[in-house]
Structure 1
């Protein structure tokens, strides 16, 4: 009689944890009209779904409705063990083309997703990042 010692581990939903957001000014030949680099750091728990391919959706609040940005560019992405760092560019054109008030709240929605099991997504994580005014001047406050 032969008994198999192989154990098949089934994937479960991937997770995103410990999300932090920071920013720094972007100015120079690559960003002629200025803007902000927004850095998102988080832990990606793959749960056997493969490498991180999480989906990012940036949003701003107009009165009581969250609206999507459609053209936020990913500049850089790094992974060190579980920790992932992604850098996005918010050019000044992003804010003027959407006519965003400098006190409007901005957030990111992250849908955890792995590379092996594309159909399996985790629970969406939302992280507020303040408002444009706060990113430009951390001592200020946001309000609608």
Structure 2
């Protein structure tokens, strides 16, 4: 019986020249292979670099982390919320303001530049500034999620 062991890149010791070929043969550091072989009680197939999560999940996490950094010093008193829709290779974002003036458009363009700089093509971005008065609720559109929400009093 063949057991498969997943060896992720983060678990490999690159200083020891550990290399596994696509057909499961090994070269370099045989101790790990022998250890896994004994543990399995038979044949062992080692798969190097197997993904830990789906590409969509990894992309979503990268986008959220990028926004966390890109929003530093960009949150103004009139910003009510930021909704993002990360569907690779496109990142869409809505910046919800009390009112949109040139200053808000420039801020959104700056955040957009920071986010796009974190990715390589074919990733593209589309950010917009929208005005939603304080009397109107902030609502997500399909596929969006919040990356920033201002604390607001409940309407009476």
Question: Which has the greater radius of gyration?
Answer: 2
The answer to which structure has the higher helix fraction is 2
Do both share a fold (TM > 0.5)?
no
Structure 1 length-normalised TM: 0.27
The answer to which structure has the higher strand fraction is 1
Structure 2 length-normalised TM: 0.26
